[in-house]
Chains A and B, each alone.
Chain A
Amino acid sequence: MHELSIIYNVIEIAKEYAEKNSLKKIDKINMSIGEFCCLQEDSLHFAFEGLQKGTLCENAKLHIEVQEAQAYCKNCNLEFKISFTDKLCPYCNAFSHQIMTGYEILVASIEGE
């Protein structure tokens, strides 16, 4: 439900960096979101279509890449892929709550001229 405020911030960040780098228009925004962040991709695109009008991103595409979630096992000193219901280390079978990736919501890059 908070996709709208997320996209509002995405566009603010994109505008800020476009200005710093003297871009006159933005063609593409690349977002990277963790698989645990519970954002609905369709809602993000829908919010983007609404909010991009009248901005530097007017005709930009929004590209979203989903990052897999990983946890760290301190027994084995390694990172492994997890899901919501499976956080057991594949080597020693211990439960890990040290989640390294999966929650991030990033503006990765922008493209424009």
Chain B
Amino acid sequence: MKQILIEKSVLENNDKAAAENRAFLNAQKAFTINLMGSPGSGKTSVLENIISSISLNYNMAIIEGDLYTAKDAARIARCNTNVIQINTAGACHLDASMVRKALSHIDTKHLDFLIIENIGNLVCPASYDLGEDIKVVVMSVTEGNDKPLKYPSMFQRCSAVILNKTDLLPMTDFNIEEFYQDVYSLNENVKVFEISCKDGTGVTSLTRFLMGAIRNKKDV
């Protein structure tokens, strides 16, 4: 019997592809977000709300990940933005090689801002680095305020949480104090944006944060 020491990361291939994506996007100085969250939390709605004001100032592109259909890409295309749809046909997360392939199909010359909308799922996407600058989670008040502690990995690894559908707060038992307590216990440095895609509340402070980050990346 022989024992062979390996100590090799199972995600090594993904991490290599992610590092290549990151090098490519850094060379373009394109600020990149990995946008995650449960199905229906409002990821695409958030994009629809921020595109018009950001694209006045910056060149942006969007990669849409879904298991099936190009419905989200069609919604984004209506906002006059570069968009490409990835269909994973069942896979529960995007990986870095899918993003690399998608990047080869979009015009990345002069790109300032790339958003990758991941598959609606609060678990698996958190483990796969895509080459992004930051991870952002969209969570909606109708999901209940216990989600950060039930799905801690994603909330722990993200830089910002967008709490969406605040227009529905009066209709739910969402406990906002508990929500902040839980999120900060996982990640003290996280930024939280309360927004409603329905009535536009909070959208301006989110776009201000994003444009600041885009500008910072241009300046480095």
Contact = CB atoms under 8 A, between A and B. Distances in A.
Interface of A: 1-2, 5-6, 9-10, 13-14, 17-18, 21, 23, 27, 31, 36-38, 84-87, 95, 97, 103-113
User: What interface size band does chain B fall in?
Assistant: 20 to 34
Contacts, number: 90
B71 to A, nearest CB: 22
Contacts of B153: 36-38, 84
Contact of A13 (B3, B8, B187): B8
B156 interface: yes
A108 B2 contact: no
A1 B11 contact: no
A38 to B, nearest CB: 5
A107 B8 contact: yes
Interface of B is mostly: mixed
Interface stretch (B48-56, B102-110, B121-129, B169-177): B121-129
Interface of B: 1-11, 13, 91-93, 121, 123-124, 126-127, 149, 152-153, 156, 182, 185-189
Contacts of A103: 127
A17 to B, nearest CB: 5
A5 B149 CA distance: 26
Contacts of A108: 5-7
Contacts of B1: 27, 111-113
Contacts of B156: 36, 84
A97 to B, nearest CB: 6
A106 B8 contact: yes
B127 A2 contact: yes
B188 to A, nearest CB: 4
B189 to A, nearest CB: 6
Contacts of B10: 6, 9-10, 13, 31, 105-107
